Structures are given as C-alpha cells and as structure tokens.
Structure 1
C-alpha cells in the first residue's frame, strides 16, 4: 500500500517526489528509461530544450543549481523572430539556457531520495476506486502489476491518461501536435528562431542550434495535415537559406494550449494533476518547465499538513498560476494576430540590431 502513486516523472513528477519523499511512501511511474545514462537508449521528450527565465527563477526558488553537463553550446541571448506571413524579421534580446532535455530530466531524477520506489520502462494503464483509495494497474517488464494507493497524482503531460479518466474530456485545453526533427549542422547559429506563419499553424515554429545539430520544430493542429504543413515549413525555410540535409531523428508529442483559465484543472477527490497534465503551460510560448516546478511545489506544500483536505489546499495555492495563464492569454493576440504582430515588429520596439 503506497501513500501516493505519481504517474509521470518529468520535471513535475520528479520534483514532487523529491519534495515529499521524507513524509510519504511513494511509487513513481514513467514509460521512459530515465536511469540509463546512454542517450541512445532514452526516449527523450519532444522538447526544444530551452530553460526560460521563469524556469530559471523556479530552480533558484527550489534552492537548486543546474549542473554544467546539462547545458549545451551555444548559450542563447537572442531570438530571431521570422514573420513569414508579413515578410518581416526582428532580433530581440532573450536569456535562455540551452540544455539537453534528457540530461535535465535525469538530473531531477537523481535528486529523488532512494526510499522512493521508482519504476521506469513502466506503462500506466488504469486505476479503480477501492476502500481507502485506489488500485493502480501498470505494465512493468511485460507484466501487468497492481498497486494500492491513497492518492494518485497525474504528472503525465498533455494527453494525460489520468486527466482523461477523471474529466471525461470536458473543458480540455486545445491540443497541438509538436513535430521536431534533428539535423547535423556545422553552421554557427547564435540565436533561437521563432517563426510565425498562418499558412502553417496558428501557433508557432522554432529553430534551435544544439551542439552540432539544428532542431526544427512546429506546433501544429493534429487534424489539419500536420505532416504536410511541417514539410511546407521546411521548404519555405530552405528557400531562406537554412539547410536541412542530414536528418538524424524525428520526435513528436502532443502539447496543450490552454486558451481559458477554466481549462486549468487541479483534480478531484484524492486525484490531483500537476504540470502540463493540469493545463499549466504557457498558451503564448508553450513553455512548461516553470509551471511544472511551480505546481509540484504547491502540491508538495499542500501535502505537508497530511492527505486529508490536501486538494482544497492545493486549489487555493494555485491562484497565481491561473493569473499567469490569464495574462499570457491577454498577451497572445499581440503575438498571433498578423496585423498586431506587424505593428509591433514594424515599430522596432525592444528590438536589437
């Protein structure tokens, strides 16, 4: 009998497990092999691997320091904004840490105390209510196993199975398909590129240099021919002089885009949601690590007083996350409305040469 089963060990799940390990008996489940240091055997999350200022602030707030071997060259201090719809470009100063996302996740896992029961390469299947809690079923080493728990935490990202089990797909954030390809690259590209093109997507696309690679990604609507739109993006950028010759791999994943604060959902009964599973992710930039760390911290604080009433305490804690999501949705039209974006970029405000 576990006190808590955490489904998903990305930044939200791993941070929560670290923070509450000394108080509760925990089972942590993840389908990835996050204890294997050989990156070739790791199924990495489809992520650009940029640590935004909000995420840096949360890491500082948690009293942590990111190891240097998590970072990769080049470190990026500028974003090249490419507006293909309006045929405009600007350079803006930004402060990102460029990192290896797989190593970042494994670093957070390494901070979890040894008394947490970690099951990697394990696939969460379902749960059922039983007296005193829940019976959780998962696949481990090809075998179906059940575990009992008083509390279930869904930290399983967009398309969260835990969330879908308790919400019946009601009031879900809009879901996009993120496609990202890695290419060998020897060019010196000292910026991160954000690309806007309404013909491709009503969200955005990106180019990120990472050591000897170049990442090209796009957040696309799943039902609007995403593969064709991605190929169209690649073709347009090729005509601009970018080279996508030697492809190494392709990654894809669903990501949420909460366009209403009501789409942020903390859970029900003794089932709580954190990170992207709750809908905590920026609707303007798709940045999620800061929200993952913040929501897991708030949930950990709500559990300090025990399991009884923890969800009510968690709901009160997350007021600033809701406020932030509201602000990001107010900000989004200036980025994603072609006319407003044209005005902002034409003005040259805050841009650098």
Structure 2
C-alpha cells in the first residue's frame, strides 16, 4: 500500500517525488527509462530546451543549481522576433539557459530519494476506487501490475490520462500539437527566434540553436492541416535565408494553451494534478517548467500536515498561479493580434535592434 502514486516524471513529478519521497511511501511511474542513459527505450522530449527567467527563479527558490553538463552552446541573451504577417523584425533582450532537455529531466530524477519506488519504462493504464484509496493499474516492461494507494498525482502533461479519468467536462485548455525538427546548421545563430504568422498558426513558431544544430518548431492546431502548415513555414523561412536541408530527426507532442483561468484544474477527492496536466502552462509562450516546479512545490507544502484535507490547502496555494495565467492572457493580444503586434514592433519599444 503506497501513500502516493505519481504518474509522470517530468519536472513536476520528479520535483514532487524529490520533496516528499522521505515523508511518504511513493510510487513514481513514467514511460521513459530515465534512469538509464543507454536505454534502447529512448524517448525524446519534444521541447525547445530553454530555461526561461521564471523557471530560473524557481530553480533558485528550490535551492538547486544546474550542472554545467546539462547546458549546451550557445547561451542566449536575445530573442529575434520575426513577424511574417506584417513583414517586420526586431531584436529584444531576454535571458535563457540553453540546455539539453533530456539531460535536465534525468538530472531531476537523479535527485529523487532512494526511498521512492521508481517504475520507469511503465505505462499508466487506469485506476479504480477501493476502500481507503485507489487501485492503480500500469504496465511495466510488458507485465500488467496493480498497486494500491491512498492518493494519486497526475503529472502526465497535456492530454493527461489522470485528468481525463476524473474530469469528463469540456473545460480543458485549447489543444495544440508541437512539431519540431532538428537540422544540421553550418553557421552560428546567437539568439532564439520567435516567429508569428497567422497563416501558419494563431500561436507561434520558434528556431533554437543547439551546438551544431537548429531546432525548428511550431505549435499548431491538430485538426487544421498541421503537417502542411509546418511545411509551409519551412518554405517561408527558407525564402528569407534559413537552411533546412539536412534534417536529423522529427519530434512531436501535444501541448495545452489555457485561455481561461477556469481551465486550471487542481483535482478532486484524493487525486491532484500538477504542471501541464492541471493546465499550468504559459498561454503566451507555452513555457511550462516554472509552473511544473511551482505547482509541485505548492502540493508538497499542502501535504506537510498530512493527506487529509490536502486538496483544499492546495487550491488555496495555487491562486497565485491562476492570477499569473490571467495576467498572461491579458497580455497575449499584444503578441497575437496582428494589428497590435505591428504597432508594438514598429514603435521599437524595449527592442535592441
């Protein structure tokens, strides 16, 4: 009998396991083999691998420091903003840690106490209520296993299976698919590039340099000819000088975009959601690591007085996350309305070039 089963070992699930692993009996489940660098079951996380200022702040608040082997060249101090709709371009000063996202996740896992029962290469299937808690079913290396627990935590990202089981309502964040490809790059790009084009997406696209590669990604509506629009984006960027000849690999993932505070869902009964599974992800940039770390910290604090009544305490603590999402949604029109974006970029306000 476990106290807590955590589904998902990204930044939210790993950080929670790290913080509560010595106080509670914890089972951590993830489909990736995060404790084995040489695993044949290697699943690339589709992520730009940038640690934004808000995430840097949370890393500091948690008393952690990023090992240098996780970082990759170049470190980035500027965002090149390309507005294809309005044919405008500006450079803005921003500070990002450029990192290897898979190494980052493995590093977080390495901080989890030995007391935590980690089941990697495992797929969460379902759960059912039993007296005193739940029975969780999962598949580990092809074998079906069940575990009993007092509490379940969904840290399984967008399209969370845990969230789907407890919330059949339609009040979920908008769903997007991120398509990202890696290309060999024969020249140096010293900045992160954000691309806006309403013909491609009502969200945004990006180019990120990683050592001798560049990543081209776009957040697209999944049922709106996503692949065709991604290819159209490549064509447009090739016409302005980018080179996408030597493709190395393709990645994809579903992501959420919360447009209303009500789309943040903390959970019910003895089941809680953290990180993107709860809808905690930036609606303006799709940055999620800071929210993953913050929500897992708040849940940890909510469990300090035991499991009884934890959800009410958690709901109180996440009010500032909801406020942050509200503010970001209020700011979004300046980025995503073509007319307002044109005015802001033409003004040159806060730009460095």
Quickly name the TM-score band, shorter chain normalised. over 0.9
Aligned residue in 2 for 1:228: 228
Question: Which stretches of structure 1, 4 residues or more, deviate above 2 A after TM superposition?
Answer: 38-42
Aligned residue in 1 for 2:30: 30
Aligned residue in 1 for 2:94: 94
Query: Within the alignment, does 1:141 sit opposite 2:171 as a pair?
Result: no
Query: Within the alignment, does 1:348 sit opposite 2:331 as a pair?
Result: no
- CA distance, structure 2, for counterparts of residue 36 and residue 218 of structure 1: 30
Query: Within the alignment, does 1:84 sit opposite 2:84 as a pair?
Result: yes
Pairwise CA distance, 1:44:
2.0
- Secondary structure of 1:177's counterpart equals strand
Deviations along 1:225-264, one digit per CA (max 9) or x if unpaired, are 0000000000000111100011111000000000000000
Query: Within the alignment, does 1:198 sit opposite 2:198 as a pair?
Result: yes
- Secondary structure of 2:4's counterpart equals strand
Aligned residue in 1 for 2:61: 61
Query: Within the alignment, does 1:260 sit opposite 2:260 as a pair?
Result: yes
- Secondary structure of 2:23's counterpart equals coil
- CA distance, structure 1, for counterparts of residue 19 and residue 31 of structure 2: 22
Pairwise CA distance, 1:22:
1.2
Deviations along 1:158-184, one digit per CA (max 9) or x if unpaired, are 000000100114200001000000011
Mapped contact 2:41–2:121 kept (Cα < 8 A)? no
- Secondary structure of 1:297's counterpart equals helix
Aligned residue in 2 for 1:123: 123
- CA distance, structure 2, for counterparts of residue 165 and residue 115 of structure 1: 28
Segments of structure 1 that go 5 or more residues without pairing to the other structure are: none
Aligned residue in 2 for 1:218: 218
- CA distance, structure 2, for counterparts of residue 102 and residue 35 of structure 1: 11
Aligned residue in 1 for 2:45: 45
Deviations along 1:120-160, one digit per CA (max 9) or x if unpaired, are 11000000000000000000010110000000000000000
- Paired residues, what number? 353
Mapped contact 2:85–2:196 kept (Cα < 8 A)? yes
Pairwise CA distance, 1:39:
7.8
Pairwise CA distance, 1:36:
1.6
- Secondary structure of 2:256's counterpart equals strand
- Secondary structure of 2:78's counterpart equals strand
Aligned residue in 2 for 1:336: 336
Mapped contact 1:49–1:101 kept (Cα < 8 A)? yes
- Secondary structure of 1:296's counterpart equals helix
TM-score, structure 2 normalization: 0.99
Deviations along 1:32-56, one digit per CA (max 9) or x if unpaired, are 1111223875212100000000000
C-alpha spacing 1:321/1:270, structure 2 compared with 1 (3 Å): same
- CA distance, structure 2, for counterparts of residue 24 and residue 150 of structure 1: 11
Map 1:304-323 to 2 at 5 A: 304-323=304-323
Mapped contact 1:196–1:203 kept (Cα < 8 A)? yes
- CA distance, structure 2, for counterparts of residue 36 and residue 135 of structure 1: 28
Deviations along 1:320-344, one digit per CA (max 9) or x if unpaired, are 1000000000000000000000000
- Secondary structure of 1:352's counterpart equals coil
Aligned residue in 1 for 2:8: 8
Pairwise CA distance, 1:103:
0.2
- Secondary structure of 2:60's counterpart equals helix
- CA distance, structure 1, for counterparts of residue 200 and residue 36 of structure 2: 37
Mapped contact 2:33–2:39 kept (Cα < 8 A)? no
Aligned residue in 2 for 1:269: 269
- Secondary structure of 2:255's counterpart equals strand
- CA distance, structure 2, for counterparts of residue 119 and residue 15 of structure 1: 16
- Secondary structure of 2:295's counterpart equals helix
Aligned residue in 1 for 2:241: 241
Map 1:169-208 to 2 at 5 A: 169-208=169-208
TM-score, structure 1 normalization: 0.99
- CA distance, structure 1, for counterparts of residue 54 and residue 272 of structure 2: 23
- CA distance, structure 2, for counterparts of residue 42 and residue 315 of structure 1: 36
Segments of structure 2 that go 5 or more residues without pairing to the other structure are: none
- CA distance, structure 1, for counterparts of residue 192 and residue 81 of structure 2: 9
